[in-house]
Amino acid sequence: MPESQLLLDGTRITDHWVTVPLDWENPSGEKIQVYAREFVGPEAAAKGEVHTAGLPWLLFLQGGPGGKGNRPAKLGGWMAEVAKDFRILMLDQRGTGLSTRLDRHHLAQRGTPEEQAQYLRNFRADSIVQDAEALRRQLGIKSWTVFGQSYGGFCTLTYLSLAPEHMDRALFTGGLAPLTGPADRVYQQTYARMRARNEEHFERFPQDREALDRVVEHLRARVDAGDPVHLLDGSELTVSRLQMLGMTLGGNTRVDSLHYLLEEAFAHVGGRAQLSDTFLAEVGNRISFAGNPMYAVMHESIYGLPGEPATAWAAERVAAQFPEFSAEAESPLLTGEMIFREHVQLDPVLAPLFETADALAAVEDWDPLYDLVQLARNEVPAAACVYSEDVFVDRDLSLETAGRVAGLSVYETDEFHHDGIHDDGASILRELLRRTED
C-alpha cells in the first residue's frame, strides 16, 4: 500500500504512480510514469480508514494543456467542499508535475523537431483519459466522478466519449470544448470577447490605458534607437509580448492586479523615465512559460480534429481580422490565450522548441478526441458551469457543445470569469453536484 502523510490541517495525502504506454496504440512499446495525489479531508481522515474506504472517488483534471495538479497547503474552496463527501484524486497529466516530464531538455532527446512533434502527439486528451483509466484499474475503483476545469473539461468530454461506463458523473467548469470545426472559430470568438474585456477594464481604470500606451511608446522608441528593452531574464520585451498581460483579464481573482502592475511601470533615474525593475520582473514572471512550457507549444493542438486543416498558428492568423490587437496599432489591446510565433521564439525556455511547435502546428491528420454518437446518447449525469463572459472558453461555443451531449445540465452565470472555482468554487460545485443527483 502507498504510504500516506498528513498536512498541517489534518488532510491525508497519498502518492500514486502507474506505469503506462507512451503510445496507447502500442501497449508493448515505450513506457512512461503517471502520478496522482489522493486527498482525504481532515474530517474524513480523523474517522479512520474504514470510513475513508467507503467514500466515493472524484478525479480532478486540471486546466492546461500542460497543467499539473493543484498543490494546496491546506484544503479550501472547492476542494474542502468536495472532500466532505469524496476522496479526491488530483492527476498530474502526462508530461506535468511528477509524471514523466515534457520540457526543452527532455524533448531534445527525442530527435528532430518533426520527431519531437510526433512524440507530443501522445500527450493529448485521449492519452490522458487512458492514463486515468489505468489509475482507476490499479486502485480497484469501479467508477468515479470526473471533474474537469478548463482544458480538464475538454479531457472530461473525451472521457465521456471513451469510457462513460466508468463515470458516476461528469462535471465541467469553463471547459466545454468545440466538438467540430477549425481552431479559427475559437479565436474569432475569443478575440471579440477580449476586446470587450479590454474596454471594460480601461473604462474602470482609464489611467491604465494611459500607462499602457506610455509603455508601448517607450518600447517602440527604444527599438527605434537600436536599444530594445529586455526583461530581467535577458529576453526582449516586445509590444506583442507585453500584450500577453491580457491573460490577467481572464479572471475575477486577478483582473485588478493589472492596475497595480501598470501604476509602477516607470521609475525616474537621472531625470529620465525608464521601466522599473519591479515592473520588468513582474511582467517577466507573468509572460514566462518556464513553469509550463507545454502550454505554449501544445496549445492549439487541443483543437486539432480529424478532417480539419492544420491549426497553423491560428491565433496569429485570426488576429489579422482584429486590427485593434495588432502590435502596430496606436493603442493595442491586450491579448488572452493566444500564442504567436514570437511568443515562442523570444521566451528563453521555449526558443529551443520553436521548430517543434511549428511542426506541431502543421499536423493535418489528428486522431479523434470525441465520439459524437456516444455523446449524443450519453447517460452519465453531467453538469457544466458556463461563464457568460468567459474570454478563454467561449460561451456560445460552449452552449453549442452542451446541446450535443445528451442530458448535460447547464448552469450559466455572469458572476464569475474563467477562474470561478478559485473565486467561489464551493458554491459552484454544490450546484453542479445538485444537478447530477439521481
Catalytic positions, written as ranges:
150, 365, 418
> Measured between alpha carbons, how far apart are the two ends of the chain, in Å?
33
| Unique residue bearing C-alpha cell 469524496 | 86
Confirm if 146 and 170 have CB atoms less than 8 A apart. yes
Q: Return the H-helix or E-strand segment holding 428.
A: helix 420-435
Would you give the DSSP letter of residue 319? G
Contacts of residue 44, defined as CB under 8 A and 6 or more positions apart, other chains included, come to 51, 52, 55, 83, 84, 87
Specify the 3-state DSSP secondary structure of 413. strand
DSSP bridge pairs for 108: none
Q: Which long-range contacts link 16-21 to residues 24+ away (Cβ below 8 Å)? A: 16/89, 16/135, 16/138, 16/139, 17/98, 18/131, 18/134, 18/135, 18/138, 20/94, 20/130, 20/131, 20/134
Count other C-beta atoms under 10 Å from residue 330's C-beta: 9
Q: How far apart are the C-alpha atoms of 311 and 360, rounded to whole Å? A: 9
Q: How far apart are the C-alpha atoms of 181 and 308, rounded to whole Å? A: 7
Q: How far apart are the C-alpha atoms of 331 and 323, rounded to whole Å? A: 11
Q: Return the H-helix or E-strand segment holding 192.
A: helix 184-204
CA dist 259 → 253, 339, 373 (Å)? 13, 23, 47
How remote is the C-alpha of 298 from its chain's centroid?
Answer: 11
Count other C-beta atoms under 10 Å from residue 118's C-beta: 17
| The pairing of beta strand 12-21 with beta strand 4-6 | antiparallel
Could you tell me the three cell numbers for 247?
491573460
